Amino acid sequence: MRAHRTWNPVLAGGTLLAVTALVVTGCSSSTSSTKPAATSSAASPVSSIAAEVPAAVKSKGTLTVAADATYASNEFIASDGHTVIGWDPDLAKALGQVLSLKVSVVNATFDTIIPGLASGKYDLGMSSFSDTKERQKTVDFVDYFESGTSFFVKSSGGPNITSLSDLCGHKVSVEAGTTQQADAQAQAAKCKSAGKPAVTVETFNDQNAANLALSSGRADVSMADTGPAAYQVKLSNGVFKLSGPAYGTAPYGIAIPKNNGMAKPILDALKQLMANGTYMKILQKWGVQAGAISTPVINGATS
C-alpha cells in the first residue's frame, strides 16, 4: 500500500514529520513523547516452522527486510538517525524469531524495494505495501493487516474533504508511487471531464515532503494510509486534523520474491504470532490494532 502504497516502476516512493510551529524536524522527531513505550515482542523459535525455510535463505542466517522508513508509525527512523523502527520492523523481528533467523531491517527508497526483491538484494519487503493482483505478477504477498486512506488538512482554514470528489478545485499533496497518487490523479481527470474546478496533484518522493507541502500552504489537503495519517495529525500538535471518513480499505502484504518458497513459512510464522498474542501486542504498542486481521493468507487480494 504505502498510503495504500502500490509499487509502480516509474514512480518513486522517503522520515517522520513532527510539526512544531510548522517546522519539519525529520529523522530527529522520534522522541520519548512520540515513540511508544517499549513492549516486549519476543517470540520463541518454532522448529517445525523454521524447517520450512528454504536452504538458500536458511544458510544466510539473516532475513534482510527492506522498508521505506518515512511512514510513521508503520516504519520510520529513530532519534539515533539510522535505526528503522515502527510496528512493521517489530513484526519483522518477531517473524524472524519464530523462524530462528536474525532480521536486518534496512531503509530503502520505496520504488527500489520490489526490484531489490527480484534481484535477491532483499528477502522481504515490509513497507505498507498493498496486496493487489497487479503486484502479484511480480511478488508474492502474505496479507497481515488492513488499512484505508484518510484525508488530512490544516486545522485552521482547511477545506472540508470527505470524499475524493471533494478534491475538485484543491491542491493535494501525495507521496509518489502510492495509491493516493493514483486516486488523486484519477479524480483530477474526473473533475476535468465534468467541467469542475481542477485538482492540482503535488507529488513528492516521501510523505514527509507531502506533509510539509500541507503545513506550508503549498497544498490544501494531503492523503495517506489511515494509521500514518492519524499519527501525523497527533504529532502536529493541532496543526493538522483528519477530514472525513477513511475510504478504500485493502490488505497490507509482506512482499516476498515470487515463488522462492518463503511465503508458507512467513504465513505460518505469522499465524503463530497471532495465536500466541505477539501480533496483537505489537499493534497495540503502536496504537494500530484497529487494522488487525485474524486470518492471514497468501496473495489474498481480490483486485
pLDDT in tens, 142-183: 999 999 999 999 999 999 999 999 999 999 999 988 889 999
Per-residue confidence (pLDDT) for residue 2, from 0 to 100: 53
Bridge-based pairing of strands 75-77 and 84-85 is antiparallel
Per-residue confidence (pLDDT) for residue 10, from 0 to 100: 32
Tell me, yes or no, if the two domains 19-146+251-291 and 148-248 fold the same way: yes
Q: What's the whole-number mean pLDDT along residues 23-48?
A: 54
- Domain extent listing, the chain: 19-146+251-291, 148-248
Taking the mean position of all CA atoms in its chain, how far away is CA 173? 17
- When mean pLDDT is compared across 16-20, 200-204, 239-243, the lowest value belongs to 16-20
SS3 content of the chain, % helix, strand, coil (to 5): 35, 25, 40
Tell which CATH classification among 3.40.50.1820, 3.90.550.10, 3.40.190.10, 3.40.30.10 matches the domain 19-146+251-291.
3.40.190.10
Per-residue confidence (pLDDT) for residue 287, from 0 to 100: 85
pLDDT in tens, 97-148: 999 999 999 999 888 999 999 999 999 999 999 898 988 999 999 999 999 9
Instruction: Give me the chain's average pLDDT, please.
Output: 87
Q: How many CB atoms lie within 10 A of CB 228?
A: 30
CA distance 282 to 99: 18
Give the DSSP letter of residue 207. H
Residue 46 pLDDT more than 60?
A: yes
Per-residue confidence (pLDDT) for residue 3, from 0 to 100: 41
Residue indicated by cell numbers 513484526: 91
DSSP per residue, 99-157: TT-EEEEEE--HHHHHHHHHHTS-SEE-SSBB--TTGGGTEEEEEEEEEEEEEEEETTT
Per-residue confidence (pLDDT) for residue 109, from 0 to 100: 86
Considering the domain 148-248, what is its CATH architecture? 3-Layer(aba) Sandwich (3.40)
Indicate yes or no: pTM above 0.85.
no
CA distance 293 to 126: 16
Q: Which three three-digit cell numbers place residue 65?
A: 527486510
**Coil, helix or strand at residue 295:** coil
CB 96 within 8 A of CB 43: no
CB 250 within 8 A of CB 4: yes
